[in-house]
Structure 1
Amino acid sequence: MTTTAAVPCLNRTPRADARLRLFCFHHAGGGASFFSSWAARVPSGVDVLPVQLPGREARYREPRFQDAGELVETLARDLAPCLDEGPWAAYGHSMGALVAAALATARLRAGGRGPEALFLGAYAAPHLTPTLPLPDRYEDRELARLLVDFGGMHPQFLDREDWLRVLLPIVRDDLRVCASHSRAGLPDPDDEQARLPLAVEAFAGLDDPLVDPARVRAWERYAHDFRLTLVPGGHFFPREEPGPFFGRLNRSLARLLGEPPPVAPPAAPG
């Protein structure tokens, strides 16, 4: 692939030598740093490109999105030069799964180059009753406690009012994005002809207190080629139990690269 000029939502220029670009979309309240270790965990031919949404981390001064349709429209425009250049795939975690699926749909409808595969983690299919809280349902202390309960925040920050004043507005705006999923342009799950013509692999944590695997499986109504993979861990299994998750993800990435599957490390004795 050729080297693409910098785009607003990427922290760096994509690698010119990559055989596959993996665009990664973070969870509600999160940022691109969630994927900081991924480049060292995936095949060398894959260029991991965390997508940084505005209003957090390196883009904290920029206004945040509250509407899924506006967010996807902007991402489709800003990322178009990268997506058109060569093979790409996408991974979205929690809220990021909604964003990744909507971006793939928008690209295909516009006649652009779609992803080779779509990987979705820890998010119920959007036509179901939302599992993430509604943005204004909880007071600040209640919302903070909920974030702690499913692993989205360290308990020590419950007593940091200054920190919560920064984090909670970000979380609420991201939850507004999730609540506006009907404007994201996803296929109609009741229309088999509208299903995405690509491989979709969804991941669910066996100990996820927020999202039941059966609700993740319901993504099968959005794609003709679907697989559900259950992995150890809670809502943030790529961080909590990375070994099994990356073992499965890397087998799928190797297939896209036309490489033999990676050899699993030997089991620990005993």
Structure 2
Amino acid sequence: MTSDWLVSYRPTPSAASLAAATRIVALPHAGAGPTVFRQAAGLLPDDLELLAAELPGHGKRLSEPPHRRSETLIAALLPAVVAAVQGRDWVLFGHSMGAFLAHELCRALRRAGHALPRRLIVSGRRPPNYPAPELDLHKLPDADFVHELTRRYDGIPAVIRNEPELLQLFLPVLKADFEVFETYRFSDEPPLDLPIAIWGGRDDPQTAQMDGWADLAAGPASQRLFDGGHFYLTDRPERFARALAEETTNDRT
């Protein structure tokens, strides 16, 4: 399946298996497109199909203006996800900014009366009700923004940092993504009625701030730690794919 919003790099091999496959909707970190999941998607078993989000301003949608508020982004993403998972067994995964969006998407699905995913997997980000420990980044001048982002996350690849033209193309989208979650204000709602898995890299400072995710879901909570930092999932895609398959299938009926 391929759409403007959701891209599958590895469709399951036959129509019959495609109909039976569990779908994993995966939301990437700030500034990223669906390609961050490309390697891992190709390593999943045949009965799992990963659909990676491609947001406006990212990847092949570079010419579209990026969203700057979570409300408009979730409202636009919601119908694409509903159409992709209608009547299907599915799991939702989000990393960093994607974890924040995954939680908000689940709350929007519930408000609209749609079925929730069988499991929510959040990775590499503090829960949305946890106060930000540092000042907003999206308001900083470009040079300060790059410095702080590199210090906190090692978040801009050197190949982009060292190429001024690439950096100038990349920064507006990245700043818009940070504006999405840095302008968000949490509102109380009942915990989501689903299990939640909390993932993080052992060397990522965000991991120490993730415990509060368990309070946002009424189902069982589990934790999985990986060797590595904030980008553990792309550093070792085979390890990430194996964990994703285990987490997705361990309670499937």
TM-score (norm 2): 0.87
How far off its partner does 1:156 sit? 4.1
User: Which of 214, 217, 221 is the aligned partner of 1:223?
Assistant: 217
Cα-to-partner distance string for 1:13-48 (whole Å, 9 max, x where unaligned): 975514210011011111111111122222221100
Separation in 2 of the partners of 1:110 and 1:132? 34
The C-alpha deviation readout for 1:176-208, integer Å capped at 9, x for no partner, is 11113327xx7x2xx6xx111101101011101
Instruction: Give the secondary structure class of the aligned counterpart of 2:132.
Output: coil
Percent identity at matched positions?
26
Counterpart of 2:201 (choices 202, 205, 210) is 205
The residue aligned with 1:160 is 163
Unmatched tracts of structure 2, length 5 or more: none
Task: Verify: 1:177 aligned to 2:166, yes or no.
Answer: no
For residues 28 and 77 of structure 1, the distance between their equivalents in structure 2, rounded to whole angstroms, comes to: 21
Rounded to whole Å, the distance in 1 between the matches of 2:4 and 2:159 is 33
Pick one of 61, 64, 70 that aligns with 1:62. Answer: 64
Cα RMSD for the two superposed structures: 2.3
Structure-to-structure mapping, 1:10-49, within 5 angstroms: 10-11=6-7, 16=15, 17=18, 18-49=20-51
Other structure's SS at 2:57 match: coil
- AA aligned to 1:153 is I
The aligned residue for residue 191 of structure 2 is 195
Q: Which runs of 5+ in 1 are unaligned?
A: 259-270
Q: Equivalent residues in 2 for 1:136-151 (5 A)?
A: 136-149=138-151, 150-151=153-154
CA distance in 2, matches of 1:24, 1:242: 14
Question: What TM-score do the two structures reach when normalised by structure 1?
Answer: 0.82
- For residue 114 of structure 1, what is the aligned residue in structure 2? 116
Distance 1:74 1:244, change over 3 A: same
- Aligned to 1:148, what secondary structure does the other structure show? helix
Report the Cα offset of residue 132 of structure 1.
7.5
Q: Which residue of 1 aligns with 2:101?
A: 99
Deviations 1:25-82 (A, max 9, x none): 0111111111111222222211000010011210011111001011111111222211
Check 1:131–1:248 CA distance in 2 against 1; reply closer, same or farther (3 A cut): farther
Distance 1:182-1:106 versus aligned 2 partners, 3 A rule: same
- Pair 248,156 (structure 1): closer, same or farther in 2 beyond 3 Å: closer
Shift of 1:119: 0.7
What is the identity, as a one-letter code, of the residue corresponding to 1:202? Answer: I
